[in-house]
Structure 1
Amino acid sequence: MKKLLLLAGIALFSLTSNAQEENKGLEGTWWAAGQLSFGSNDNGTVKTTSNAIIPVVGYFVAPTTTIGLGVGVINGKEETTLAGTTTTTGETSAFIIQPLVRKYWGIGGKFFLFGQASLPMTFGKDKISDDKTTSIGVDLAPGFDFIVNKWMTVETSFSLVNFTTSTIDPNVGDKTTNVSFNANPFDLTGSRSVGGLRVGVKFLF
């Protein structure tokens, strides 16, 4: 009888531990993602180059809720060659910081739907004119996430609604502020593509 009670107690403890582990989900898990891109175009007269390095790190504060922070830089340069002489006609650099929060919902198996809210902030400078640009926005993006294994997922998302305010502070002249709002992510009259579609991988650790 004592052995039966002991076995029952062990089984109950095991089931409780497994249930707690399942309910825990990804809580306490760190993840890393980001953007890395390089581009170049040269038509013989004008050469443009660009690069972006924006790593993103996040942490699951609850079983299906994560917060993250992206910090990086975007650079661009334009060079014009005339009569064998190359001149830099444009050069920009921008520092980006983007906090975000994301909520997940299981839709079957290893597939998850998520909603993300982010606050992208960009601080740029034109190295030729010395003009400065500051942009602050709010972006709402739905997406899908597929868990490949215990350390990697593949995700895709697109911007559903975004609001951005940009202030240009020129080296000469007065400041100007522009406000933009977009709540139509679909190109219904052109290519009929989804606006701002993003595909990438996320590493869990």
Structure 2
Amino acid sequence: MRPQILFFVTLTLLLTACSPGFEKVDGKWAYVSYDEAVGKRVRYIEADDATFTILRNKQYAKDKDHVFLKTNIIAHADPATFYLIGKGYAADNTNVYLDSYTMIGADPKTFKRLSFPYSRDAGKVFCGTLPLDIDDIESFKVTKSSSAKSMVPTDLFIESNPEYAGIDTAKYPLVLYGFGKAKTRSEEFDGFKKTR
């Protein structure tokens, strides 16, 4: 019995010791991760040491000027009001974010996660960061969830999807969308595409 306990304790220590996250390396903040090809990977970030805080999800941190997801700065995020929602979603007083991407027109006060890739606020339903063209928000139901997602530059996305030509490509340079399925009483969606 003792060897089994020792094995599990050792395994737990190894797994937690190799967890990715922010730490100080040589006196500077860095995001440290581990992979099979390189081993320990250290990526330094420019952060204000006096105000740097690691959030409860160790992939996120903030200082007085920026919010970080791993080594990415989340554009437009307000560190003073930034909070985690969960499952890759976060918000501040102005915007909602999926990973490090700003959701297009999402209201942080009424935002709710649904089964990925879908979410909603009081007036819109989203597939990833994209608002859907939807007539019946109240009957919207996810019929198939999917964790798969794709990210593409907004201008290229609009070329293939001209119905989204109104997106401000300067404010939203990238869009992220997923591959679930959903429906309302009169509509069906395959990812962000209305199919009926």
TM-score, normalised to structure 1, is 0.28
Higher relative contact order (CA 8 A, sep 6+): 1
Larger radius of gyration: 1
Structure with higher strand content:
1
